[in-house]
Amino acid sequence: MSTYRIQRGDTLWALAKRFGTTVSKLASTNHIENPNLIITGHTLEVPGGKTTSKKPPSSFQPDKPGKAPAQTEPKAPARPGKISAPKTGNVFLDKYGPAAIRSMQSTGVPASVTLAQAILESGWGRSGLTRKAFNFFGIKGTGPAGSLTVRTREVVNGRSIYINAAFKAYHNAAESFVDHGKMLRRMSRYAPCFRYRNDPAQFARELQKAGYATDPNYASALINIIKQYGLARFDR
């Protein structure tokens, strides 16, 4: 098995021909649901052939639930200033805690809420949307790396329905965390949230009132995660 870092202008069909394999094999090996969408900077696993780019090792294992699959992302640009974050022993929190604190410092969104949303929306980084598009927060639209269409659950009039929706794609996790904080600060409907920057539980309730998610239990889920994993320590 070899690896290849996707370059601008690549297509799955051209890569399959280049490496002497098929589109279906590349898609199944890399869990690609839409062969028309591959994201620049992501690493493909290629059955057979010579390795043409080095795959940086990166993986995490959450406290709960169970072991998460390995996650690979392009190196984020260097950022000024060092963020001091609590060390928890939970690799997900230790890895993304600094990004949540950085967002809090620049936008006012409590780091505890940011981390709880990232955990809930991405399933500890294991969701297809996060693995393929580095979207940790379920934000719809077109991002710096385009968009990814996935099947998602919505709650309408108390009923769960499934729709296909386009979600933002990012080049790395840092972009996702930055965009999340800026979106909440920029959109007027989330303005009431920022009256409770020192009260993450109420901030979460205001997020739900503003319509961040259609799940009626969304705020309760965030609050439970904050309490269970002691995320308030990141706000300090």
Catalytic residues: 154, 179
E strand or H helix at 133:
helix 128-133
Q: What number of CA atoms fall less than 13 Å from residue 134's CA on the CB side? A: 27
Q: Could you tell me the CA-to-CA distances from 182 to 90, 176, 177, 178, 191 in Å, in that order? A: 26, 10, 9, 6, 12
Helix spans in 3-69 (H): 12-18, 23-29
Quote the strand ranges of the chain, DSSP E: 2-5, 43-46, 147-156, 159-168
Q: Could you tell me the CA-to-CA distances from 156 to 31, 159, 221 in Å, in that order? A: 30, 5, 18
CB under 8 A, 24+ apart: contacts of 190-198 = 193/109, 194/108, 197/108, 197/109, 197/110, 198/110, 198/235
Residue of 172, 167, 174 whose CA lies nearest to 100: 174
**Spatial distance between the Cα atoms of 8 and 11, rounded to a whole number of angstroms:** 9
Q: What is the largest CA-CA distance in the chain?
A: 58
**Spatial distance between the Cα atoms of 135 and 167, rounded to a whole number of angstroms:** 8
